[in-house]
Amino acid sequence: MTRVNNRYNAVNLAQGFPDFDPPKEIVQSAKQALDEGFHQYAITWGSPSIRKAIAGKFAWFNGVEVDPERHVTVVCGGTEAMMAAMLAVVDPGDEVIVFEPFYENYGPDALLAGGTPVFVPLRQHGGEMRFDFDELRRAFSKKTKAIVVNTPHNPTGKVFSLEEMKAIANLCIEHDVLALTDEPYEHIIFDGEKHVTMAALPGMARRTVTTNSASKTYSVTGWRVGWAIALDDSIATAIRRVHDFLSIGAAAPLQEAVAKAIYMPLSYYGELARGYQARRDAMVSILDDAGFEYATPKGAYYVMCRYPACGYDDDLAFSHFLSEEVGVTPVPGRAFYHDPELAKPYVRFAFPKKLETLERVSERMRRLHEFRK
Q: Which residues bind ligand PLP (CB under 6 A)?
A: 16, 77-79, 103, 150, 154, 182, 184, 213, 215-216, 221, 226
Beta carbon nearer to ligand PLP, 62 or 320:
62
Q: Which amino acid is at 265?
A: P
Beta carbon nearer to ligand PLP, 193 or 324:
193
Shortest-Cβ-distance residue relative to ligand PLP: 77
CA separation for the pair 64, 58 (Å, rounded)? 6
Closest distance between ligand PLP and the C-beta of residue 45, in Å?
17
Beta carbon nearer to ligand PLP, 184 or 327:
184
Closest distance between ligand PLP and the C-beta of residue 373, in Å?
33
Beta carbon nearer to ligand PLP, 78 or 117:
78
Beta carbon nearer to ligand PLP, 144 or 154:
154
CA separation for the pair 100, 190 (Å, rounded)? 22
Nearest CA to 70 among 262, 225, 237, 242? 237
Beta carbon nearer to ligand PLP, 33 or 225:
225
Closest distance between ligand PLP and the C-beta of residue 304, in Å?
13
Closest distance between ligand PLP and the C-beta of residue 192, in Å?
22
CA separation for the pair 144, 90 (Å, rounded)? 9
Closest distance between ligand PLP and the C-beta of residue 110, in Å?
14
Closest distance between ligand PLP and the C-beta of residue 150, in Å?
5
CA separation for the pair 164, 184 (Å, rounded)? 19
Task: Report whether 208 contacts 178 (CB < 8 A).
Answer: yes
